Structure 1
Amino acid sequence: MTDAPLDQDAAAPAPAPARFDTLPLDAKLLRAVADQGYATMTPIQAKAIPVVLSGRDVMGAAQTGTGKTAAFSIPLLQKMLRHENASASPARHPVRALVLAPTRELADQVANNVKAYAKHSQLRVAVVFGGVDMKPQTAELKAGVEVLIATPGRLLDHIEAKNCVLNQVEYVVLDEADRMLDIGFLPDLQRILSYLPKANRQTLLFSATFSPEIKKLASSYLQDPELVEVARPNATASTVEQVFIGCSDDDKRRVILRQLRQRSIQQAIVFVNSKLGAARLARSFERDGMRTAALHGDKSQDERLKSLAAFKAGEVDLLVATDVAARGLDIADLPAVFNFDVPFNAEDYVHRIGRTGRAGASGVAITLVTSDDSRLVADIEKLIKKKIELAAAELDDDRPRRRERFRDESREDGRPDERQEDRPRRPAAEGPRVAEPRRFAPPVAARDPFFDRPYEAQADQAPAAWERTGAAPAATAAANGNRVSPSIRPKRKVAALLGGGVKA
């Protein structure tokens, strides 16, 4: 009896990644791609680039860090090479491709990538975003550009100022389309699309997360789009280790410091939900001896770019940021991401942890969870379709006890206040302390025992007439000939000099 043959499909090796030189691209673009060190395409690039070159509208969904920018910019540059020219006239360089991004940092990063791909051609690339002076942007726009990357608000400012005309746009790209189609950007997006030609326009939408509502809304802007997905929708990268640690709010910072030491992490991004929380947390880490920088919406664009540049250069250990840094930032070899606060939107969790583990590298994403975050964690479980297990937080037992921090100032011997709970110190041999959420008893209001006593009549108080006879007040008054009840005191007679009716 012979052994059954092995399954050929299971034994066959995985297909080799496709190379860029197999695509019908111009030699200028292939040279620029080679200068960036790219030889093979990522899955989203291998699927999306041929579709974009064919002229179809595309909805591209892929995990963060998989090269979505190159997936739409390289084929668009290939299709616009027929318009390149060396003329100095601005009229020969109208805007033909428009890329919209939700944040300033993402717009600046996309512009840098597109400029790198087009550096050997004569196509002009410009970027406009808010927070900086408009005059240099205006001069660049009036000189003529073929590819314009912009945030919606600043682009509308230039349109109203007559600095750019969009009547010859042939290609529109919405990067991070789920945020672009959010309720906050939708009015500005509709205004911008009203300035574009409706015919002969190719529209591309790319993002890491696509909800069914976003797909339905995007269908109104695309014509017969082709959906390109290389992974399960809203999936997280397999190269990112996801850790959820349960702790209290007071222990979060100490948990992060311990994880940095245990895992020998040199750099990390710490995400918070509020601008004020980012600034305060950055100052707290500075007092702990860490080199920190804060990145949030209240900072000027120049400050945000400087903080980001310092972090990329290794001059900053911890970048404490809000969700303005959760999308599109490409930082090479970022080892870790911390979620100091669980994000309010589950989609933002996917984008936050996508800052690490990019381009096939490994990374870790640590989320700190309190007892109040159960609903938000359940939303993340539903989105990523993974069961989340909470790990206990281990802390170094170096924080002074409450009875050591609070002293009774009225005692000269410096002994602890008798009102404080005298808790024994944990021996050092027992190992690190496991943090537990603090539980506080509800405050008890002070009560006066007088109001809890039953009613008691005074002994020297004479009972009223109806109390003595047991009759109603009206009946008692009728029996006495409508005389005044003896329990009612008569009016005192006052002299006329004082306003009374009796003369002195």
Structure 2
Amino acid sequence: MTFKSLGLTDNLIKAVSDIGYTEPSPIQVKAIPLVLERKDILASAQTGTGKTAGFALPMIQILERGQTMRNRPIRALILTPTRELAAQVQDDIVNYSKQSDIRSTVIFGGVNQNPQANRLRAGIDILVATPGRLLDLQNQGLLSLAKVEILVLDEADRMLDMGFLRDIQRILKLLPERRQNLLFSATFSKDIKKLANTFLHHPVLVEATPENTTVEIINQKVYRIDKAKKTDFTIELIKDGNWQQVLIFTRTKHGANRLSEKLDKADISSAAIHGNKSQNARTKALAGFKAGEIRVLVATDIAARGLDIPLLPHVINYEMPNVPEDYVHRIGRTGRAGAGGDAISLVNFDEVEFLRSIEKLIGERMPAEIVEGYEPGPNQEPTKGASQNRGRSARPQGNKPQGQNKNRGKSKRY
């Protein structure tokens, strides 16, 4: 299968070739022809599957065909849940449209609105936005959605998780009745299906992979750890394995800050990203992480959603998520583009039920190991069936995913 066989024009094929794409991903194979046919679609896809190209490439082609208005009203709107994802989508669109005359821009909160307003006044074809800033600028009369032909809700499940449902409903009322709608979500929850039914017209269901499963090539390991010893164990994992790029998840902003400070004191360079950090601080931290200047990025689920980090080898669930789907999103940060990766979960007594809920979601049991020196306390009995491996061999070593005890799901790539 080639991009040409999907019906894309030569200039778009040249653009993806320049980026280094050689063949379309499964989500692209399914989505691109449907978007070109102007179908509404309901797609199950995660960050890392190539979903942005799946909707952006055909979108650019459609807009090029009908580009007759000199003042360039906004003709395509892409809504994303986070600033980081919005910026990443905009970067991708800029790369895809280098061979065309399509203009795009991104707007999000946390930064001065004036540069964003100036770009809108100059005229654009595609707008990438977070809901809050979009409504803010619309209320000020700085943008109009009256000419939108294509609407994309990207990572719709996360937008609902973050409480954007009312904002989405308000935005839908600002759009023309006749338009094409594309909804992308990691999972098809009841809330997502309910939302889809309110604005999608006879949508085509697109699933590139089975629903709610984990990535095959990720080596998932679970350790039963005393809560008070999690930090020391994390430091030992990183130092003994000489891990140079690690993404760690905590449940709270304060927890992320505390862990980052302790890692720095242990001579492991780190940065925390969460909702209380300014956009500039988050952007700087991510850039430093990608460049290898920072070994560890400590993040909350909301801050990390949509981060595009190529070939990330290690993810640590320092604290288990209380929403099972978030586990799938977290470990999907690694194991991309055919590369392997380690996903390590540290589970204390209070988190056993979270682990059980995750196992139910992914349809597999993940036996927990206990490491000498980090055992749960006397009132924290190991989970049923936990491995009593108390040797140092229980720890992942080096930079390569371990071959033993691979708890793998049935492939849902992100």
Give the structure-1-normalised TM-score.
0.73
Q: Cα 1:187–1:212, aligned 2, differ >3 Å: closer, same or farther?
A: closer
Structure 1 distance, partners of 2:374, 2:354, is 21
Partner of 1:109: 88
Q: 1:216: how far off?
A: 3.0
Q: 1:125: how far off?
A: 0.6
What amino acid does structure 2 have at the position aligned with 1:343?
P
Partner of 1:128: 107
SS in 1 for 2:199: coil
User: Are 2:116 and 1:146 equivalent residues in the alignment?
Assistant: no
Q: Structure 2 residue aligned with 1:248, among 206, 212, 226?
A: 226
Give runs of aligned pairs for residues 256-295 of structure 1, distance below 5 A. Answer: 256-295=234-273
User: Are 2:7 and 1:39 equivalent residues in the alignment?
Assistant: no
Higher relative contact order (CA 8 A, sep 6+): 2
Q: Do the aligned residues in 2 keep the contact of 1:84 with 1:121 (CA within 8 Å)? A: no
The percent of aligned pairs where both chains have the same amino acid is 48
SS in 2 for 1:276: helix
Partner of 2:375: 436
User: Are 2:282 and 1:343 equivalent residues in the alignment?
Assistant: no
Partner of 1:175: 154
Structure 1 distance, partners of 2:162, 2:88, is 24
Partner of 1:51: 34
SS in 2 for 1:172: strand
Structure 2 distance, partners of 1:326, 1:391, is 27
Q: Do the aligned residues in 2 keep the contact of 1:61 with 1:206 (CA within 8 Å)? A: yes
* CA root-mean-square deviation: 1.6
Structure 2 distance, partners of 1:347, 1:110, is 23
- The answer for unaligned runs of 5 or more in structure 1 is 1-17, 394-432, 442-504
Q: 1:21: how far off?
A: 2.1
User: Are 2:52 and 1:69 equivalent residues in the alignment?
Assistant: yes
Q: 1:378: how far off?
A: 1.6
What amino acid does structure 2 have at the position aligned with 1:72?
F
Structure 2 distance, partners of 1:372, 1:122, is 55
SS in 2 for 1:113: helix
The farther-off stretch of 38-47 and 174-183 is 174-183
SS in 1 for 2:247: strand
Q: 1:335: how far off?
A: 0.5
Structure 1 distance, partners of 2:51, 2:359, is 25
SS in 2 for 1:359: coil
Q: 1:440: how far off?
A: 6.6
Q: Do the aligned residues in 1 keep the contact of 2:223 with 2:345 (CA within 8 Å)? A: yes
Q: Do the aligned residues in 1 keep the contact of 2:229 with 2:374 (CA within 8 Å)? A: yes
Q: Do the aligned residues in 1 keep the contact of 2:74 with 2:127 (CA within 8 Å)? A: yes
Structure 2 distance, partners of 1:160, 1:328, is 27
SS in 1 for 2:138: helix
Q: Do the aligned residues in 2 keep the contact of 1:65 with 1:357 (CA within 8 Å)? A: no
SS in 2 for 1:220: helix
Q: Cα 1:203–1:145, aligned 2, differ >3 Å: closer, same or farther?
A: same
Q: Structure 2 residue aligned with 1:356, among 299, 319, 334?
A: 334
Q: 1:254: how far off?
A: 1.9
Structure 2 distance, partners of 1:342, 1:270, is 11
Alignment deviations for residues 379-438 of structure 1 (CA, whole Å, 9 cap, x no partner): 111211111211113xxxxxxxxxxxxxxxxxxxxxxxxxxxxxxxxxxxxxxx342222
Structure 1 distance, partners of 2:14, 2:222, is 44
Structure 1 distance, partners of 2:61, 2:276, is 39
What amino acid does structure 2 have at the position aligned with 1:236?
T
SS in 2 for 1:314: coil
Partner of 1:12: none
Give runs of aligned pairs for residues 324-473 of structure 1, distance below 5 A. Answer: 324-393=302-371, 433-439=372-378
Alignment deviations for residues 201-239 of structure 1 (CA, whole Å, 9 cap, x no partner): 111111222223422332222111111112211111112
Partner of 1:234: 212
Structure 1 distance, partners of 2:363, 2:348, is 21
Give the structure-2-normalised TM-score.
0.89
SS in 2 for 1:219: helix
What amino acid does structure 2 have at the position aligned with 1:127?
V
Partner of 2:137: 158
Q: Do the aligned residues in 2 keep the contact of 1:49 with 1:75 (CA within 8 Å)? A: yes
Structure 2 distance, partners of 1:162, 1:268, is 43
Structure 1 distance, partners of 2:241, 2:4, is 40
Q: Structure 1 residue aligned with 2:167, among 176, 188, 191?
A: 188
Q: 1:64: how far off?
A: 4.0
Q: Give every structure 1 segment of 4 or more consecutive aligned residues whose post-TM-superposition deviation is greater than 4 Å.
A: none
Structure 1 distance, partners of 2:51, 2:198, is 22
Q: Cα 1:271–1:182, aligned 2, differ >3 Å: closer, same or farther?
A: closer
